[in-house]
Structures are given as structure tokens and as C-alpha cells.
Amino acid sequence: MSQADLGVLLFVHRDLVRKIETAERVPSADFLTRCDQVLEAHGALARLVPVVERERVLRAVRADQTSEVAFRSSATDRPVLDWLLADSAGQQSAVDNDITAEAARELEDLRDRDHAEGAGATYPDVEGALRGRLTTLATTAPQIATGMLELAGYEAVDLGVDGLAQQHYLRALDLMTRTGNHVYGGYLIAVSLAHLALHCGDEQQALRLATAGLRGTGDRATPAVRAAFRTVQARAYARRRDESACATALLRAEADLARSNRADEPYWIGYFGEADFADEKAHCFFDLGLYGLTRRETRTALTLLSTDRVRRIGIDTALQASALARGGELDEACSVARRAIDHMGGLASFRAGHRIVLMLAELQPYAHLPQVRDVIEYADATLGPLLNPG
């Protein structure tokens, strides 16, 4: 079918079809839905609507850097400079041990629920906690307040609301800059904000932020914190297809992690161990096209991850299935894909749906095979609301 033929069936000009095929234009939801019907794609195109809408927003923001409602790379420049120039002694806060202990328990509970249920189920409670207690916590327990804001940012990413995530992270950074917790501030820059930049397709900004955090904290950063910073650098290098720089950053991160003593690390980096490091390496290797190494690291991560980290397990399982599909191992890819779908079934998470859509896209070229067709149908039946939130 020519571009003109498809244009006739869709009632659009062939030039629009050409621009969409060459990625000059982002297709509308209506265009995708009608293409799905005309080409008898059985949902393969329609399920891409949330991913395509996200790309539309990202492109619009890149074109209009004055937007206040979406992620903007430039919005981090002044806060990072303020952090670099700040007095590390900061302002002293009056710590209330009772309030701190209660808030810490609440934060831990919200984090556990987020891992197991997804942000769609827990963000309203996080937002409610911030609305009712942020001012008090910022004075009496600034690190807990920062943890709440950091979790809110992480959950906003999970909801696909990147501009809101950036706002939460920047509020947390401002609080750490004012109270003098320089290392935690560096973490917000080099990990939270840098990961957000990666998520939004700006690997250059991610690399700048990770490097700023690493250099700005210097010897004050503990080994696990430095390892986390270097891992984000590796992710950015992998996106740029710089295999040598990625490998160097990963080796340095691995050496830092080997020197880490958990008892000497700040509590907020306690999650970052061998499981999360394996997860980050798997994403690096996938971006570099090293699918055998991707499978190895996802297996390691899935072996080490705590069973209550449902979303992370689902995402890593889907990444493993994608790597298997890229390597042509379709039977195993389908088996692993089914496990990923099962893990995602109870989640309310944009990121979970996004990762499943990407996994299914890897299988789509083989949709004529019965085992692949069965997986696609299973995903539609099991994850209908997650894949088609509208």
C-alpha cells in the first residue's frame, strides 16, 4: 500500500502519512486508531497512543522552553548553581524526635506501597501528607520532608507527569540547600533530576547533572552515593552509544560499591545495592545493543530484588523479554513476557504500562507466530486498563 493509498483510506493527504512515517510529525490518537482499523493491526497501533502522546508533550516542551507545566532542562540550572555555591553548614533546624519518628514511619509505609501498587494508587496519599505537614516537617525534620518530596517526584514520574516531578525534586533540592545537607542535595541532582532527564530523553543534561553532583560533593560523598552518581553517568553514556565511557563509569561504580559499608551510609541511599546496580547495568547494556549482557544483568537483578518491589521486578522482567526478542529467542521471550504481564497486573503505573508497550513492540514483528500472538492477546486481556488508560 502506498502512502497515497493509505491517505485515501484515512481521509488525509499523503504528505501527512509521509511525515508521520519519517517522524517529522507525531500522529494524533485518532490517526493511530484509524490506522489500526484500516491496517487490521488488532490493537498494535492503538496501544501506542499513551507513548505517542508523551512524545508529543516532550517535543512541544523542547520547542517552548518557557512552559511551566512540563519538564524543562533549563529549569535546573539556577538551583544547581545555588547548591554548588551554598554554605554546607546551612540553617540549623529544631529537630522534634517524636514528629521525626512518626513521619519516618509514614514515609517508609508510603514507599513500600508505591513499590507494590504503583503511584496511581498511592500518590493521593503522598500529596495529602505533603499538603498537611510539609511546612512543619521542613522545620522539624527536613530530611524527612525532603524524602517526602523525593517520593512525590518519583511517583509523578510513575504517573507520566514529568513537569510535576521536576517541581517536587527542585523543592526538595531547595530545602537541602538551605539546611546544608550538601550530599543529599547532590543526590537529588545527580540521581533524581538526572534520571528524570534520562526519562525525558535528554541524556546530555543527565550527564551534566550526574557530573555536577559527583564533583560538587567531592570527598563528602560516601562510596554508595558515589556509585549511584557514576551509574547515572553510565546510563547517559550508554544512551549516547559511548561504550568505552559507559564501561569506565560502571567499573568505577562497582569499585565504589565494593568499598561501601552499609552502617556508614546515609539511610536514604540504603536501597542502592547489588540488585539496583544490576538493574542499571541491564539498562545500559540494552541501550548499547548488548543483549546477552542485558539478559545476564536482569537475571541477577531479579534474583536479588526483594519480592515486595513489584514494579521494579515487572520492569526488569519486561526488559529481559525485550532483550530476548532482540536476540531472536522468541519462545523464551514469550515465556518471560507473560511473567512480566503477570507482575504488572496489579499496578497503577504509567511506567509499567510504558515498559509493557515497548516490550510488545519488540514482539510485534513476529505477531504472525502463534506464541507471539498469544502473548499479545494475553496482554490485552490482562492489562487492558493499564495499556489503554483513556
Q: How many residues does the chain have?
A: 390
Q: Which three cell numbers stand for residue 100?
A: 521525626
Mean pLDDT across the chain, nearest whole number? 89
- Segment (H or E) for 370: helix 370-382
Q: How confident is the model at residue 52 (pLDDT cuts 50, 70, 90)?
A: confident
Buried b / exposed e along 87-117 (16+ C-beta atoms within 10 A): eeebeebeeeeebbeebeebbeebbebbbbb
Q: pLDDT per residue over 120-166, tens digit each?
A: 889 999 988 888 788 888 888 888 999 999 999 999 999 888 889 99
- Checking if the pLDDT of 96 tops 70, the result is no
Spell out the alpha helix ranges (H) of 191-242. 194-199, 203-217, 223-239
Cα 186 to Cα 198: distance, rounded to the nearest angstrom: 17
Q: Which three cell numbers stand for residue 326?
A: 532482540
Neighbours of 155 (CB within 10 A): 27
Residue 252 C-alpha from the chain's centroid:
23
Cα–Cα distances in Å, from 158 out to 61, 155, 233, 317, 348? 19, 5, 22, 17, 9
Q: What's residue 235's pLDDT?
A: 98
- Residue in the structure block whose three cell numbers are 547515572: 232
Cα 81 to Cα 190: distance, rounded to the nearest angstrom: 13
Neighbours of 55 (CB within 10 A): 15
Q: What's residue 184's pLDDT?
A: 95
- Checking if the pLDDT of 329 tops 90, the result is yes
Cα 292 to Cα 13: distance, rounded to the nearest angstrom: 43
Long-range CB contacts (within 8 A, 24+) of 312-316: 312/115, 312/279, 313/343, 314/340, 314/343, 314/344, 314/347, 314/352, 314/355, 315/351, 315/352, 315/355, 316/279, 316/282
Q: pLDDT per residue over 176-233, tens digit each?
A: 999 989 999 999 999 999 999 999 889 999 999 999 999 999 999 999 999 999 999 9
Maximum mean pLDDT: which of 2-11, 117-126, 251-260, 361-370: 251-260
Q: What is the pTM of this model?
A: 0.82
The DSSP code sequence of 304-331 is HS-TT-HHHHHHHHHHHHHHHHHTT-HH
Cα 9 to Cα 233: distance, rounded to the nearest angstrom: 47
Helix, strand, coil fractions of the chain, as percent rounded to 5: 80, 0, 20
Q: What's residue 307's pLDDT?
A: 92
Neighbours of 338 (CB within 10 A): 18
